[in-house]
Amino acid sequence: MSYLFTSESVSEGHPDKVADQISDALVDNFLAFDENSKVACETLVTTGQVVLAGEVKSKTYLDVQKIARDVINKIGYTKGEYMFDGNSCGVLSAIHEQSQDINQGVDRESKEQQGAGDQGMMFGYATNETENFMPLALDLSHLILVELAELRRENKDITYLRPDSKSQVTIEYTDDNVPFRIKDIVVSTQHDDFMENDEEMLAKIKSDIISILIPRVIAKVPTEIKALFNDHIVYHVNPTGKFVIGGPHGDTGLTGRKIIVDTYGGKGAHGGGAFSGKDPSKVDRSAAYATRHIAKNLVAAGVADEILIQVSYAIGVVEPMGIYVNTNGSANVDLADGEIAEIVSTIFDMRPASIESRLKLRQPMYAETAAYGHMGRKNETVNKSFKNVDGTEISVDVELFTWEKLDYLDKVKEAFNL
């Protein structure tokens, strides 16, 4: 029997994502000037106010207020009428030194014996239903908002957009788990109050979303996904009415509140730990990336059509508690899921230090992860510049989204005789 599955995304201007981006900008700046920094930064944003809190152990000192303001301005909160803008908002820092009780379980004389920065379980997932091995509903939800942000910055075809927005896509699947059609698309976008008549204004916004935004989205997807768009899609555009009050003025934002948007849109599973604001010694982040790397390479190699990987840790302990594999009955090898897990443990070293090294996680690579998902993104090298409070400036080439590389295909195929 066919079934429906829905995923959502939120824009870079969503208050929770504003918080995530500030937290990850702090991580990047600490790592840029001291790659061994230990960082756990949380951010709260609300009307005219930013609060930074957390624990840091680092050799560098940052102007955290300037970093926060730069992020806010880059997102697009630059006008006083938004009741939250980078130039005028207050920024309060309550960042302090990392607890030595935590640090003693992580730092060791031998880097290879580095313990996990926390306990918990982390999940990675991959499916062959899209080219980037991500669930389709989430992939489309992200793409809708990426294009909406581009339209906002171009300020040409649509001139009234504000930074805060959300999207949601519902896909109908066949009983063979194949995407069949797009049933519903939801887009809620903050906007200027540009017409006196609210009904006319909302009709204009809906018309622009359907006639301008959606064709741009369709142009970016592969041919087989284009076929899922049809004249019967139900569009819900700003379904509650006008959306002028938004961003941190309309809703307080906190780091780490969009963990499903950050990962797989509800497909697979999530261990509960947020990513943003954390350096890679925190396995909530690094092991989630590592399990995505494993799942993607296994699916791409043909081990299964979809794979969920779980790994778990105890704080301060080097080796993981165990690795779990669930192929949901889609395995293409004559092995039980437990047997697949045993082979996986021989291919991928899941000690925290090994993950950091394998995926190059001590780079200042995290600001780019903090909006539009941490998974399914493009692996590329970019140049990034950082300026410290003492005037020191550095420019560094950074390889982004290393966990998306299909660099273990040969090892996986050899191990599974594929």
Domains present along the chain, CATH in parentheses: 3-10+136-247 (3.30.300.10), 15-109 (3.30.300.10), 120-127+261-273+280-415 (3.30.300.10)
Indicate whether 5 pLDDT > 90: yes
Mean pLDDT of 5-19: 98
How far, in Å, CA of 215 to CA of 200, rounded? 22
| Backbone dihedral angles phi then psi of residue 6, each to the nearest 5 degrees | -125, 140
CB atoms within 10 A of CB 63: 15
Q: Which residues belong to the annotated binding site for Mg(2+)?
A: 16
Q: Strand 322-326 relative to strand 306-313: parallel, antiparallel, unpaired?
A: antiparallel
Indicate whether 109 pLDDT > 70: no
Burial 286-315 (b: 16+ CB within 10 A, else e): bbbbbbbbbbbbbbbbbbbbbbbbbbbbee
Indicate whether 397 pLDDT > 60: yes
Q: Which residues belong to the annotated binding site for K(+)?
A: 42
Whole-prediction pTM value?
0.95
Q: List the structure tokens of 139.
A: 């992939």
The pLDDT, as a whole number, for residue 418 is 93
Q: Which residues belong to the annotated binding site for L-methionine?
A: 55, 98, 251, 282
For residue 113, name the pLDDT band (cuts at 50, 70, 90).
low
For residue 97, name the pLDDT band (cuts at 50, 70, 90).
confident
Mean pLDDT of 10-14: 98
The pLDDT, as a whole number, for residue 115 is 74
- Name which of 294, 372, 379, 8 is nearest 123 in CA terms: 294
Q: What is the DSSP string of 182-249?
A: EEEEEEEEEE----SSHHHHHHHHHHHIIIIIHHHHHHHS-HHHHTT--TTPEEEESTTS---S-HHH
The pLDDT, as a whole number, for residue 317 is 87
The pLDDT, as a whole number, for residue 300 is 98
Query: Starting at the edge strand that comes first in sequence, how are the strands of the sheet with 38-46 ordered?
Result: 90-97, 49-57, 38-46, 253-254
| Cα–Cα separations (whole angstroms), residue 296 to 122, 181, 190, 219, 409 | 15, 24, 35, 25, 9
The pLDDT, as a whole number, for residue 110 is 56
Greatest Cα pair distance in the chain: 68
Q: Which residues belong to the annotated binding site?
A: 14, 16, 42, 55, 98, 164-166, 242-243, 251, 257-258, 274, 278, 282
The pLDDT, as a whole number, for residue 1 is 74
Identity at 39, one-letter amino acid code = V
Give pLDDT tens digits for 44-68: 999 999 999 999 999 999 999 999 9
The pLDDT, as a whole number, for residue 101 is 52
Indicate whether 106 pLDDT > 80: no
**Following CA atoms 134, 138, 139, 144 in sequence, which dihedral angle do they give, to the nearest 10 degrees?**
180
How far, in Å, CA of 388 to CA of 66, rounded? 10
Q: What percent of the chain has pLDDT over 70?
A: 96
Mean pLDDT of 137-151: 98
For residue 316, name the pLDDT band (cuts at 50, 70, 90).
confident
The pLDDT, as a whole number, for residue 105 is 52
DSSP 116: B
- Name which of 400, 370, 364, 362 is nearest 382 in CA terms: 400
Average pLDDT, the chain: 95
DSSP 275: -
For residue 324, name the pLDDT band (cuts at 50, 70, 90).
very high
CB atoms within 10 A of CB 180: 15
Q: Which residues belong to the annotated binding site for ATP?
A: 14, 164-166, 242-243, 251, 257-258, 274, 278
Give pLDDT tens digits for 290-303: 999 999 999 999 99
